[in-house]
Amino acid sequence: MYTYCMKYLGHLSVKDIKPLHIVNALKAIEAAGSTSQIKRAKTAISKTFKHAAGKGLCNNNPVALISLESFKQHVEQQHRTLNPKDIYKLREFISHSKASLTTRMATEFTLRTCCRIQNVVQLKWSYIDTQKNIISIPASIMKTREPHHIPITPQIQNILDIQKNQSEYVFASHQSHLRSTTPIMALNTNKIETSIHGLRHLASTILNETKRFDKDIIESILAHTDSDKIRETYNNAQYLHLKRDALQFWNDFIDKCIDAESNLKALEDENIIIIDR
């Protein structure tokens, strides 16, 4: 959202911005397939003009002349999930798309860790324990309001190495962190048929279909599980070991999906039957 608005409006003085400039910015968001962001962008631009008017920088708010009826309406639907036969398309996006390196790395990190996107973009270097080889996300930013521990696989470590920077955030952008909407907009632009949440569902599907891992361990990777139930079943060391094994399997599975043929073979090797949809 920020990228499109800045591309069409960032070079203009606030007093020179006309309704058509704003419409073009919103149309670009629409063309990217992110219809859910159009209203949010319009509201943000309107607030900017109200602030500017209060400072005497402009005399009117051109956003007031723009109707959302001019744009495709966002239809709420179930989270889109990529067909497991198309995991290789995510690999291609990460390796070859024109999205920024940080956007691609944040998308890959989301795919490999099964984290919620809000936790990914807010990830701080201080959450990473290199001695224990684990990432600990504090309860304060977790949806479950419980701390979440992510074992660091070699593949995840590679992403962290690539992202080394001077910011407090791993996925830094504009003196803060990457916006949570940026990865999905990049995926949509590249015609990848999934939502960000769909990446978590994809991992859940593969891990459950292999029948290799306890369901509670899989749910804990997704930060769904009641921690009290986990503590009743496993001691802490055993729990983290099993969680690491499952996450390592998922990361290795992703690595096998280089192209359509190898993707299909990876599924067949695990006796995972996927019904085309």
Residue 231: is its pLDDT beyond 70? no
pLDDT 10s digits, 28-39: 888 887 777 888
Q: Which residue has the tokens 């599924």?
A: 267
What is the per-residue burial (b if ≥16 Cβ within 10 Å, else e) of 32-42?
A: bbbeebbeebb
Residue 148: is its pLDDT beyond 70? yes
Residue 159: is its pLDDT beyond 80? yes
Per-residue confidence (pLDDT) for residue 88, from 0 to 100: 97
pLDDT 10s digits, 93-145: 999 999 999 999 999 999 999 999 999 999 999 999 999 999 999 999 898 88
> Average pLDDT, stretch 57-81?
81
User: Between residues 90 and 8, which one has the greater pLDDT?
Assistant: 90
Hey, how many other C-beta atoms are within 10 angstroms of the C-beta on 131? 5
Per-residue confidence (pLDDT) for residue 203, from 0 to 100: 96
DSSP the chain: -HHHHHHHHTTS-GGG--HHHHHHHHHHHHHTT-GGGHHHHHHHHHHHHHHHHHTTS-S--GGGG--GGGSPPP---SPP---GGGHHHHHHHHHH-SS-HHHHHHHHHHHHH---HHHHHT-BGGGEETTTTEEEE-GGG-TTSS-EEEE--HHHHHHHHHT--SSSBSSEETTEE--TTHHHHHHHHTT----HHHHHHHHHHHHHHTT-S-HHHHHHHTT-S-HHHHHHH--HHHHHHHHHHHHHHHHHHHHH-SSHHHHHHHHHHTT------
Q: Please tell me the least confidently modeled range out of 48-52, 66-70, 204-208, 261-265.
A: 66-70
Per-residue confidence (pLDDT) for residue 74, from 0 to 100: 65
Which domains are assigned to the chain?
2-70 (1.10.150.130), 84-269 (1.10.443.10)
Predicted TM-score (pTM) of this structure: 0.71
pLDDT 10s digits, 172-190: 998 899 999 999 999 999 9
Residue 146: is its pLDDT beyond 80? yes
Confidence of residue 5 (pLDDT cuts 50, 70, 90): confident
Per-residue confidence (pLDDT) for residue 228, from 0 to 100: 57
For the chain, give the percent of residues with pLDDT over 70.
91
> In whole angstroms, what is the distance from residue 56 CA to residue 3 CA?
26
Residue 229: is its pLDDT beyond 80? no
Residue 237: is its pLDDT beyond 80? no
pLDDT 10s digits, 75-105: 545 567 899 999 999 999 999 999 999 999 9
Strands 172-173 and 148-151: unpaired
